[in-house]
Structure 1
Amino acid sequence: MAHIALYRTWRPQSFRDMVGQKHIVQTLQNSLREGRYSHAYLFCGPRGTGKTSAAKILAKAVNCQNGPGVEPCNQCDACLRITEGAVMDVVEIDAASNRGVEEIRDIRDKVKYAPTEVRQKVYIIDEVHMLTTEAFNALLKTLEEPPAHVMFILATTEPHRLPATIISRCQRFDFRRVALEEQVERLREVCKEEGIDGDDDALAFIARLSDGGMRDALSLLDQIIAFSGQKVTYEDVLSITGGMASDQFEQLVHAVQEGDVGGVLQRIEGFMQEGKSADKCMESLIYYFRDLLMVKMVPGSQAVTERILDIKRFEAVAGRFSSEALIAMIDTLNYYQTEMKYSVQPQTLLEVALMKLTSQAAGAPAAPRAAAPAVPSSGPAASGGLVDQLMGRIQKLEEQLAQLMKQGAAPAGGGAAAPVQRSAPPPSAPRRRIEKLDAYLRAKDDPAFQKVLGLWGQVLTRVKEQKITIHAWLVDGEPVSFMDGNVLVAFKNDIHRQTTEKPANKELIQNVMSETLGQPCALVTMMLADWKAASEQAKPAESKEELQLVAEEEPGAPKKEEWIDEAIQLFGEDLVKIKED
């Protein structure tokens, strides 16, 4: 017989089997006991918390041949067939794929007919928030005044997307995330019944990774069993999920606190060699520092102890930092996690983030603690020169990364330095700084650049043939210089320039330029306004011609001979007399 996934095998078939939703189970059972169940229910909450399972259990409870009762018997023909999905009067609809108004109108037309197999017709609409506005309008009247033999159960993970008119006509039940202890108990029961030997630490870690979703926990357990066989260990869970053990974090945080940059980078490289992803490491690190902060500021809180196995070790690590330092570190990690989503080098961002944490920890005062050994004056934390050096390096790396991700960088392999467009200057700066443009300014009159200008129309045409959207961005720019295989293109609009600098777009443009120009070419970009400003600054001061007023000679007036003028200049006008012949 084919293997059936654990979350399907262990799907609750009665209210007593549900995990972690006692407030909902008790309310539904009381209404069933008193016969006061509603015509419409709204089950909302996170994924994997039992919304659809509760809906099917309720459908069985109201239609059980031995009931209705607080629990379905799961033995009568009605219960067994509803479990198998073979009863036509109990309809489960996926609103994600049946979201149109026609499907809802079909329901509206059929609800008037009495059920043929069971006593109550039940419609379970899963992911109901996916319905269109027209579909909600079609459902509204039926939901308000349905026939007595019809029950609607709506399930959703996003109740805020439902119209208020729909919510107000339903009894709303909010499913909560399953507590860690209840999840571990259920996983332990599953392992016992399946003949699996599961370590408590491993089951607790699985429960923490599932984030309160019982279905996610069972799916993860099923995957780990396929990997490890009949024995589930903590190391197997770490290996299959890419997680990191608490002691690895403790060593990393200790290196951060001691200002050991080499140790921090070495541990990051070790994580990468183990196959762990940089974004997962960043996420886990944020959770770790969050737990340290909670242990320090809210000791004994239930929100903390559920996530932490060894609270004593966490308290010892948290004692090395002040609360302000931990908050600053979480802010730094959160910033770099956001930047990591748009970076092609996430490992570099992780390294920069941890180097910055190291400099913060080295420069910040340590948290007060009793019987704590003093930091030696020769240690890295006490070396002001090392801290200043690290801060300078980190600042330089941040500037380079900002240019790579937002404004484009100089192409690799180019002979001369590419122009760099700086970010917005402080208000005191009169204008943007434009650096390293001299070589490009000199090259704008070279014959090689004239060749590029002559072939630029072909470049645009070939780019358009390959991808018209890139052509729409590139056509905003114009080539202004060519040097050592680097084509400098100046753009009028910064959004167009940034889009062409995206790795995939830039690669296509460079390939087309190389083929058209017959040599390897790289794309360098800047703003047209900056290029014009640099060109104006580079122009030499032009000599101004002195303008003189010259009196026009009257018509018919005799012209003076040149020798007469010379005589006047030598002897003066008073001593020179001119006689006509």
Structure 2
Amino acid sequence: MSYQALYRVWRPQRFQDIAGQLAITQTLRNALIQHKTSHAYLFTGPRGTGKTSAAKIFAKAINCHHIVDGEPCNTCETCMAITKGQLNDVIEIDAASNNGVEEIRDIRDKAKYAPTSADYKVYIIDEVHMLSTGAFNALLKTLEEPPKNVIFILATTEPHKIPLTIISRTQRFDFKRISVKDICGRMAYILEQEKIGFEESALPVIARSAEGGMRDALSILDQVISYGETEVTLENAMSVTGSLTQELLLTYFEAILTNDTEKGLAILQGILAEGKDSARFVEDLILFSRDLLVYQQAPQMIDLLEEASADTTFKELSGKIPASILYQMITILNDSQTEMRFTNHPDIYLEVATVKMTQLRVNVAPKMESIQPAPQEIPETKEASGNVGHLEAEINELKKQLLELKENGIVASGAAKKPQQRVTKKTGNNQFKPNTTGIYQVLKEATKDNLLQLKELWPDLLNMLSVTQRAVMKASTPVAASPTGLIVSFEYDILCQKATDDQELMEAVSEDMRRLIGHTPRMICVPSDQWPTIRSEYLSQNKSKPTEQPKEAHGGSPKPTSEAMNQQLVQEPPALTPTFDGLDDLVAPPIADDQNTVVTEALELFGEEMVEVLND
């Protein structure tokens, strides 16, 4: 028999074989034991996390007459037929190639007939998000009023593309990415059963490269086994995955710590010359920096280390490198990682990042109290007395300068400003930087109708997102909108950053808005504390621009441009500038006393040339 890949040979046959999904498998087992199964299930999650395997195991368990503790026996005729894919009552369909209305109608018609050899007829529809709108509509009626003894299991990696009417009629289970520990445990079990030798340190390298997918991990393990022929070693795993050894990482960090730019660039060039993946290199550096921080703060929690092993050299480096340097390194690497996604020359960003990190300095602010000499006995040597005299002279000079500054009243004002400057600088380093150019473009075309429409539909849009995406967008509010763009304000910078970097979330929002309003405006994220400033800058810039206004036919007075009109349609907190519901408020007759304030504010905001006051 020809060789089969490990992920095919070792596909889970019981719920307990599925790694990292204990909550889901336990729920399904209890439902089978208590005979409380549903007619339709929706399995969502990243690739290789066990969705289709769980569906097949469920199909076996619900049809097995020898079920034990919610697990199929895998020895009876029904279980073996399902395992081999030979049972006619368990139908597996790939929606990517069978996504038309006719295929779903055929399923609907055949579902009416009773199962031939099993107790339940089970339809497993993989990649169900690929179905067309008509196919979803054809499936909807069957899910709403399912025939007796028929179960539908829908599996997908993109649940946001499934209509809410389908989701609401299923029990949804979200499969999460499998942890490195669980992947390593499963691989160790498989290697022991296959009687293949392995090094414990090689398994985490493979697991991290799999990025949470068991199928990917077993595929990489297959490659490492083929590369090494006899056993799985750390060196072979490093070569196949493109990861870096700890010795090389320690050498690179030593160059950063000693501010040796030339050495750091030489190490980088050597790594790239060996064909190492640049994205994997940055990922390894971030994880190694994280491990150094973890060991510094909690040296007893060695189990939390992901990239590093706590050997003597690692411990020495963690004691020498300051935490502030590690914070700055992680920030630089994270920025480089983001930029590398949109370039064809990632090596340039790695070189720039290396130069930045090797030029980092530890900033220690000297305190005035440290200038005062501590009372202690100093040996009466000639060299010591000379140093003391030099220090005393410097201290006297500093005292003299302080007295002069104090007499001129500069010390108090300088001292009052220092804390504020320090705080401002610290905030600026960690502050999210929004896409100001894109925001200005949206504001230029923004209309009040678009904003009100999105505000009304915003709760519906959030409900269409997945649970994790909804958690990111929960603290968000649309503050401006145009036919082609949408500005969303976030209460927290970290959520704003996460939403901006999550390409899948951006695509989901665009697709859901297309369903709700018929077009797909591009979403731009901005922190709520920066939004008033950005809006005010936009208004001031457009207010200062001289533009020629068209004349009216009857009187020759200029009309406000559409751009000026749109300035008032952008949402703004009341503390900054008065807002107006529309141009009617600006041109209302100012005869009554209570309208004088409105006219005055309009004149201040838009200028006398932009506002026309008409009397009844």
- TM-score tier by shorter-chain length is 0.5 to 0.7
Q: Which AA in structure 2 matches 1:180?
A: V
> What is the CA–CA distance in structure 2 between the aligned matches of 1:168 and 1:319, rounded to whole Å?
54
Aligned residues: 366
Residue 131 of structure 1 is matched in structure 2 by 131
- Whether the 8 Å CA contact 2:291–2:306 is kept in 1: the answer is no
- Secondary structure of residue in 1 paired with 2:276: coil
SS in 1 for 2:173: strand
Could you say if the C-alpha distance between residues 240 and 256 of structure 1 is closer, same or farther in structure 2, counting changes exceeding 3 Å? same
**Residues 55-97 of structure 1, C-alpha deviation per residue, up to 9 Å, x if partnerless?**
0011011112435972222122211111111122211111222
| CA distance in structure 2 between the partners assigned to 1:115 and 1:77 by the alignment | 16
Q: Mapping of 1:6-45 within 5 angstroms?
A: 6-45=6-45
Query: Normalised by the size of structure 2, how large is the TM-score?
Result: 0.55
- Report if aligned partners of 2:32, 2:62 keep a CA contact under 8 Å in 1: yes
Q: Which residue of 2 aligns with 1:207?
A: 207
Q: CA 1:35 to 1:71, structure 2 compared with 1: closer, same or farther past 3 Å? A: same
Query: Greater Rg, structure 1 or structure 2?
Result: 1
Using the alignment, how far apart are the partners of 2:308 and 2:363 within structure 1?
A: 27
Question: Does the CA-based 8 Å contact 1:286-1:330 persist in structure 2?
Answer: yes
Q: 2:161 maps to which residue?
A: 161
User: Aligned runs of 1:524-539 on 2, under 5 Å?
Assistant: none
Is the alpha carbon distance of 1:364 and 1:129 closer, same or farther for their aligned partners in structure 2, counting shifts above 3 Å? farther
Partner of 1:106: 106
1:365–1:6 Cα change, 3 Å:
farther
- Is 1:117–2:117 an aligned residue pair? yes
Tell me how far apart the structure 1 counterparts of residues 151 and 68 of structure 2 sit (CA, whole Å): 14
Deviations along 1:131-163, whole A, 9 cap, x unmatched?
A: 223322222221121012100111122223322
- The separation in 1 between residues aligned to 2:188 and 2:196, in whole angstroms, is 9
Q: How does 1:485-500 map to 2 (within 5 A)?
A: none
Mapped to 2, the partners of 1:334 and 1:280 lie a distance apart of 13
In structure 2, what is the equivalent of residue 567 of structure 1?
none
SS in 1 for 2:337: helix
TM-score between the two structures when normalised by the length of structure 1: 0.59
Which residue of 2 is the match for residue 277 of structure 1? 277
> Which residue is 1:263 aligned to?
263
Q: 2:191 matched to 1:191?
A: yes
- Report the equivalent of 2:455: none
d(CA) in 2 for partners of 1:135 and 1:299? Answer: 57
Larger mean CA deviation between 72-81 and 334-343 belongs to: 334-343
Cα deviation, residue 306, structure 1: 4.5
The aligned residue for residue 350 of structure 1 is: 350
| CA distance 1:51–1:249, shift in 2 (3 Å) | same
Question: How big is each residue's C-alpha offset from its partner over 1:160-196, in whole Å with a ceiling of 9 and x where there is no partner?
Answer: 3322222221112222333333322221221122121
CA contact (8 A) 1:255 1:261 kept: yes
> Which SS does the other structure have where 1:155 is aligned?
strand
Unmatched 5+ residue regions in structure 1? 367-423, 425-581
Once the two structures are superposed, residues 236-261 of structure 1 have per-residue CA deviations (whole angstroms, 9 ceiling, x without a partner) of 11111111012211210110121101
Mapped to 2, the partners of 1:153 and 1:307 lie a distance apart of 38
Taking the TM superposition and a 5 Å limit, the aligned residue runs for 1:412-451 are none
State which drifts further: 290-299 or 227-236.
290-299
Distance 1:307 1:271, change over 3 A: closer
1:340 is matched with which residue?
Answer: 340
Distance in 1 (CA, whole Å) between partners of 2:303 and 2:361 is 30
SS at match of 1:200: coil
1:74 aligns with 2:74: yes
1:376-525 paired onto structure 2 within 5 Å: none
Distance 1:71 1:40 in 2: 20
- Name the CA distance, whole Å, in 2 between partners of 1:152 and 1:309: 47
Alignment partners' CA distance in 1, 2:102 and 2:354: 55
Please list the CA deviations of residues 179-238 of structure 1 after superposition, one character each: whole Å capped at 9, or x if unmatched.
333322221221122121101111232222223322222111111111101211101111
Matches within 5 A, 1:297-316: 304-310=304-310, 316=316
Checking the alignment, whether the CA contact within 8 Å between 1:61 and 1:69 is kept in structure 2 is no
1:251 matched to 2:251: yes
By how many angstroms is 1:344 displaced? 4.2
For residue 5 of structure 1, report the CA deviation from its aligned partner: 0.3
- On the 8 A contact 1:329/1:357 being kept in 2, the answer is yes
* RMSD of aligned alpha carbons: 2.6
Structure 2 CA distance for partners of 1:239 and 1:306, relative to 1, 3 Å = closer
| Displacement of 1:53 | 0.6
State how far apart, in whole Å, the 1-side matches of 2:297 and 2:275 are: 34
Q: Which residues of 2 match residues 560-575 of structure 1 at below 5 A?
A: none
Q: Is the 8 A contact 1:32 1:68 kept in 2?
A: no
Cα distance in 2 for residues equivalent to 1:117 and 1:90? 10
Q: Tell whether the 8 Å contact from 2:324 to 2:362 is kept in structure 1 after alignment.
A: no
**Displacement of 1:10:** 0.5
Q: Equivalent pairs: percent with the same residue?
A: 51
Does the CA-based 8 Å contact 1:258-1:362 persist in structure 2? no
Unaligned runs of 5+ in 2: 366-436, 438-616
SS in structure 1 at match of 2:47: coil
Task: After superposing the two structures, state which structure 1 stretch, 54-63 or 339-348, moved more.
Answer: 339-348
CA distance in 2, matches of 1:302, 1:161: 42
Amino acid at match of 2:361: A
Answer yes or no: is the 8 Å Cα contact 1:62–1:68 preserved in 2: no
Q: Secondary structure at the match of 2:118?
A: coil
Q: Classify 1:342/1:26 alpha carbon distance in 2 versus 1 (closer, same or farther; 3 Å).
A: closer
Contact 2:291 2:305 in 1 (8 A): no
Find the counterpart in structure 2 of residue 362 from structure 1. Answer: 361
